[in-house]
């Protein structure tokens, strides 16, 4: 049976669309995601520069009970934080190839006991495990955002909405 085959009785993954008119709302959406997070979750974030990916991760970290401040690991590429579950924050903005992403040890972070969140998820798309949650943030600058969370179980989608 192919790895991505689903049981006939399994419910299809759901998508939730959430509006955000401010960084505080984006952080609150992230916090809700953090409270719903489970060990092994992989969240890939997509959006233009300035869309609010790091802001969402700050909220996610708060929802996981991370006490320390969250900054984008643009130059160190991977940061680890302690919370209810370990948080692995990956920023692939400065990477230029899939080989470079692999060389970071990226695949070792996936599917473990923590939550892995990847800014610029498109740069690791080929490495994302089946069941990854994709978070797409549309809008930049002072524009309101639409945050689409794809790949949630129906139960988690209901709780997030």
**The pLDDT of residue 10:** 60
Element (H or E) spanning 17, and its range? strand 14-20
The burial class, CB within 10 Å (0-12 / 13-18 / 19+), for 75 is exposed
pLDDT at res. 7 = 47
Q: Are 37 and 85 in contact (CB under 8 A)?
A: yes
CA torsion 110-114-117-118 (nearest 10°) is: -30
pTM (two decimals): 0.88
pLDDT tens track for 15-67:
999 999 999 999 999 999 999 999 999 999 999 999 999 999 999 999 999 99
Output the six-digit token pair for 123.
Answer: 């740069």
Domains (ranges, CATH) in the chain?
39-160 (3.40.50.300)
């Amino acid at each position: 049976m192919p790895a991505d085959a689903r049981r006939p009785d399994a419910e299809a993954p759901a998508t939730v669309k959430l509006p955000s008119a401010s960084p505080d709302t984006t952080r609150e959406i992230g916090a809700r995601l953090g409270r719903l997070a489970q060990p092994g979750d992989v969240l890939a974030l997509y959006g233009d520069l300035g869309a609010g990916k790091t802001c969402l991760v700050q909220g996610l970290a708060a929802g996981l009970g991370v006490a320390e401040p969250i900054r984008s690991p643009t130059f160190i590429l991977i940061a680890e934080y302690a919370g209810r579950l370990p948080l692995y924050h990956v920023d692939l903005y400065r990477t230029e190839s899939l080989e470079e992403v692999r060389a970071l040890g990226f695949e070792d972070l996936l599917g473990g006991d923590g939550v892995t969140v990847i800014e610029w998820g498109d740069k690791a798309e080929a490495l994302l495990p089946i069941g990854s949650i994709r978070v797409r943030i549309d809008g930049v600058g002072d524009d309101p955002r639409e945050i689409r969370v794809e790949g949630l179980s129906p139960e988690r989608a209901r709780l997030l909405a």
